[in-house]
Structure 1
Amino acid sequence: MATADLELTDAAPDFERSAALAGDIAALRGRFPETRALYREVCGLLFFRYGITPTANKLYQLVRKGSMGTPAEVLQAFWQELRGRTRVTIDHPDLPEALKDIAAGAVQTIWQAANEAATGELATLRAEARAAASAAEAERDAAHAETARAREAAAALVAQLDTARQAIEAGETALAAERQAHAATQARLEAGRAELEAARRQLAELRTQFSTELERARDQVVIAQERAEASERRALRELDAERTARQQSERLVEALRGELAAARAEARDAAVAQAEARARLETQVAALTEQLTTRLAAADAAARKAADDLATVQAALAAAQRRAERAEAEAALARQLLAELRLAPRERGEGGSVERRRRKAGGPAPSAGDTSSDTPSEPPAKVQGASAPRPEEGGDSSDSSYNEHDDSKD
């Protein structure tokens, strides 16, 4: 019993066995719906398949069906049935009962010893299996780790390979660039060599030209030296002439200094005379300025007087224009009156001729009303007796009379 409890304690943490046990119990629930039969099958499952000693609490925890007394009763019946099966019975008619009991006890002891040995071997095998499983799991974990490391190493190798490929490509690119640069350098080297040969040829030509020009320069130096000597002699002669001219110029300077002193004295005298003349001129200018100021004042007064006279004349002219306008108006009125006076006798003559024609025809004489209506009113006696003057005479006389009247008014 203690060994079974130890095995149960050791097997409890095993997750795989717990999962398998739960699966088997679930299968038994479907096969045995009756509670006691289910508890009995679970007891056999625990004891025979998993090697776990069943207890009432363990059974109830696994099945959880019925009351707490049901698993205890089923467990007691299970143990009684198991004892009956494990009891050895020797049925031999010749053997006495005591010998039968001893033989049965011996067989039972052998069975128990064999059972315990088998249980120990089973525990050993289970431990070995667990150790092998643990070792296999460790190997599996190690294999997984090794695989992961191998994958990481492969990834690192792939990365290194990519890096190497990139480096190779970069190296090839750099090599191609170097080859191009080498070709360009080689071309430049050939061009430099050609330029060097050309420079050598030019140097040889320049040396030849330099030798020729050096000879010419030497000849020119000789000629220049001769010319310099001649120039030196000429310069010495010119220096002698210059000394003579300098002496003459110094004497001339002394003479000019005397003349300059005399000219300065004359200039001082002229300046004094000029100052006196300027003073006289300033006095004359002041007098002339006063005279001009006086004349300008008189001219301003005359201009103001002329302006006053002009204003007076303009006022008189305006009055004369007004009088002329009034005279023209009166002359127009007189002309109108004269025209009316001239028309009155003509109308009277026309009325008399009409009356005479009526009398000759024998018609009635016109009545007083007709006469008064047809004949215009007679003018005053003075006007009727006066003869009508000519337009020229009447106009002139009227204008002169009106002008005299206006003059008398003024």
Structure 2
Amino acid sequence: MTASPLDPPMPSAAAAEARLAADVADLRAHFPETRALYREVCALLFFRYGITPTANKLYQLVRKGSMGTPTEVLAQFWQDLRGKLRVTIDQPGLPDALKAIAANAVQSIWQAANEAATGELAALRAEARLQANEAEAQRDQARAAVAVAEQETAAVQAELDAAQRAGAARQGELDAERQAHAAAQARQQEGIRQVEALERQLQALRTQFSAELEHTREQVAVAQERASATERRALREIDQERTLRQKAEQAVVDLRTELAAAQARAQEAAVAGAEARARLQAECDTLSRQLAEVEQALRRGQAAQDELRAELEMAVRRAERADAEASATRRLVSPRRRAPATRTKFKPGPA
């Protein structure tokens, strides 16, 4: 039987040795007795594998007993084999030579048949080995295909897992974006509410500022009116004080004139006598007391005048402060409006 180039190769020596070791292990399990095991291994080598058994080969495979055991079993195997191959013809009346020729002929026929059977068995074994090799090759190919399919399945599963993880990550990002968008919308609504509240507060502040501005204007007008009234009253009081002071000064002048005249008369009358001097002295004392009283009244008038002047200055300062507040208020209300004319400060005249 000729193998084609595409047929799988014959099994290697290592594979044959492995199968032989497996068969020996199987025989070891079925034949625990040492000599029986050696005998079965001899038959296995000779009939199945076509190997001539030797004592060393048997011992290498079995490794039981001593070295003499495989030698004895091998000798007995060959003797039994020769006994099976020998043909004995026991036919009464035949000569021994004819018996020997007939036995040899039958033996030759049996050997030829045995060799033919052995050849056919070898061919069958080779074909079986070829089929086994093909089956092993197909098995290896199937295993390789299964391995490739498993790798592809693992790769597809890995890609699927990666896609699922990516989808989960994108879903998480989408959820985060949705939450951020919702938070942004909430902040926007809160900002709108705050802006509306600020606009309401601004409107309220504008209304309050307008009311306060109007009230300030009224207060400024009232303060200006009060300042004008205070100024007029102070001017009247100053005029009255000036009149009183002038009268007091005139009275002092008159009293001084009278005192001088009295002193002159006293001096003139000094020579007239002690009585006249005493009288004049009394008059002089009286005039001195009157002068002191007049001077005291003059000082009281001066103090009253100073008080009136201080009140007038305070009223003027209040009027100036009210005017400054009114100017500041007008500048706040209308920055582009021209500044009002500066009021002429009232300066009281000299006392």
More helix by share: 1
User: Which category describes the TM-score, using the shorter chain as reference length?
Assistant: 0.3 to 0.5
Larger of the two Rg values belongs to structure: 1
**TM-score with structure 1 setting the length:** 0.37
Looking at both structures, which has the greater relative contact order when contacts are Cα pairs under 8 Å and sequence separation is at least 6?
A: 2
